[in-house]
Amino acid sequence: MEFFSKKIDKQIASYQQELIETHYREVDNMYKQIRGWRHDYRNHIQTMKAYAAAEDWDAIRRYLDLLDEDLTSVDTSIKTGNPMTDAILNSKISLAKSKNIKVVADAHIPVKLKSSEIDLCCIIGNLFDNAIEASIKLPEKERIIRVYMDMKNTQLYISFTNFTAGKKLKKEGKRFRSSKGEGHGFGLVRVDAIVERLDGYISRNSEDGAFTTEILLPQI
C-alpha cells in the first residue's frame, strides 16, 4: 500500500512539474516578445516622425493601431517579477475568467526565492483550483477570488480568499472538510506537506461567507 501511494504521488508530482514547465515556456516566450518590442521602440518612433513630417495623419493612426494590437497580444494579467509564478497565476486567472469568476490579484516577488519554484507553483495551483471549485457554485455576480503575494520582512506572504455558499465550512482536524466528496482534498494535503517541509506557516479561516488561506514561507 505504501509503495502504491508513493508511486501515485510521484506520478502526480511529475504531471504537475510538466504542466508548470509548459506554462513557464509560454510566459518566457511572452517576455521575449516584449523585449523585442522594446528593442524596436526607436524604429517605431522614427517611423511615426516620418509620417508626422509628411503630415500623413491617417498613416500615423493606422500605425498606432497596429502597435496597440501588437502590444496587447503579448500583455499578461500579472507580472510578479518571477516568470514561473507568472505562468501559473496567469494560467489560473485565464481559467477563472472562462468560468465568469472575477480575480483581483496583487502579487509581487521582488527577490530571488530560496524555496523551489516548483513547490511555490504547486501551492498556488492547488489554492487556485480550490477557490475556482468553490466559486462556480455561486451566482456569477458573487464569484470573486482575491490573491495577494508580497514579501513581509524575510518571508513570502501568500493570501487567497474566495466566497462560499453563505455558510461556514466545517473543520476536521487542521483542515476544512472538502465539499467535493470522498477522495478529494488531496491538493490541500499536498499544500500542507510543502509548507511544513519548508518550515512555513499556514492558516485557514472560514467566516462571513468567505474562505481565506494565508501562508508564510521563509526566504532566508
Question: What CATH code is carried by the domain that includes residue 200?
Answer: 3.30.565.10
**Which whole number is the average pLDDT over 132-138?**
92
What is d(CA 59, CA 65) in angstroms, rounded to the nearest whole number?
Answer: 10
Residue 220 β-bridge partners = none
For 30-80, the pLDDT digits (tens) are 666 666 667 777 788 888 889 899 988 988 888 888 877 766 555 556 788
Residue 64 sits in the same domain as residue 162: no
Please tell me the predicted confidence (pLDDT) of residue 195. Answer: 93
Percent of the chain's residues with pLDDT above 70: 69
pLDDT value for 183 = 38
CA distance readout (Å), 111 to 66, 95, 149: 35, 27, 12
Query: Quick one: 169 and 210 in the same domain?
Result: yes
Structural domain contains residue 13? no
The CA-atom distances, in angstroms, between 64 and each of 23, 30, 51, 60 are 30, 21, 11, 6
Residues 65, 116 share a domain: no
The verdict on residue 64 lying in a domain is yes
Kindly state the cell numbers that stand for 216: 508564510
Q: For residues 215 and 194, give the distance between their C-alpha atoms in angstroms, rounded to a whole number.
A: 11
Cell numbers standing for residue 157 = 506572504
Residue 184 confidence (pLDDT):
42
pLDDT of 12 reads 63
Over the stretch 171-205, which tens digit does the pLDDT of each residue have? 544 554 544 444 345 678 889 999 999 999 999 99
Sign of the Cα pseudo-torsion (93, 97, 103, 105, in order): positive
Instruction: Compare 186 and 98 and report the one with higher pLDDT.
Output: 98
| Whether pLDDT at 103 is above 70 | yes
Cβ-contact 158, 191 below 8 angstroms: no
53 and 104 in a single domain? The answer is no
Indicate the average pLDDT of the chain.
Answer: 79
What pLDDT does 131 receive?
A: 93
> Are 63 and 82 members of one domain?
no
| Contact call for residues 146 and 104 (beta carbons, < 8 A) | yes
Based on the fold, state whether residues 63 and 158 are members of the same structural domain.
no
- Sorted by sequence, the CB contacts under 8 Å of residue 130 that are 6+ apart come out as 162, 187, 188
Domain range spanning residue 92?
78-218
- pLDDT at site 158: 96
Q: Is 111 or 97 the better-scoring residue by pLDDT?
A: 97
